[in-house]
Amino acid sequence: MAHYVDGFVVPVPLDKIDAYRTLAEAAGKVWLEHGALHFVETVADDVKPGKLTSFPQSVQLKDGETVVFSWIVYESREVRDSVNAKVMEDPRLKAMMENGDMPFDPQRMFFGGFTTLVELKR
């Protein structure tokens, strides 16, 4: 069965990784409670600048930052749209977003929704 995936790439200051983890764990619980199937946050381990493009270049990575690559899996785009509408109205997420102390620069984050093309499992 094909799923729908939201993908995110975010620049995070190295000294804010723990704060980002705390935010991501709380946000992930909200997404899962509202119907997401899977929520994953990963931090760059083997990501180098490229000649033309790369993860670091995509977010205009600065000294003292790293790249976080994340994805959320849903049953379908329709379910994703419904889940995201609920998440955006959830007071827990609103509080996180409105406190003004995000542990990353949201202006350099990029994201998008994708229909799975190939999905293999072990």
Task: Give the DSSP letter string of 48-87.
Answer: ---SS--HHHHTT--TTEEEEEEEEEES-HHHHHHHHHHH
Q: Which CATH architecture has domain 4-115?
A: 2-Layer Sandwich (3.30)
Is residue 6 over pLDDT 90? yes
In the predicted model, is pLDDT for residue 99 greater than 90?
no
Report the alpha-carbon angle 121-84-92, nearest 5.
110
**What CA–CA distances, in Å, run from 95 to 26, 50, 99?**
11, 37, 6
pLDDT tops 90 at residue 98: no
pLDDT band at 76 (very low <50, low <70, confident <90, very high): very high
Nearest to 19 by CA among 1, 36, 41, 39: 41
**Domain extents for the chain?**
4-115
pLDDT given at position 22: 94
pLDDT at 110: 94
| Residue 39: pLDDT over 80 | yes
Q: Is the pLDDT of residue 45 over 90?
A: yes
pTM summary value:
0.93
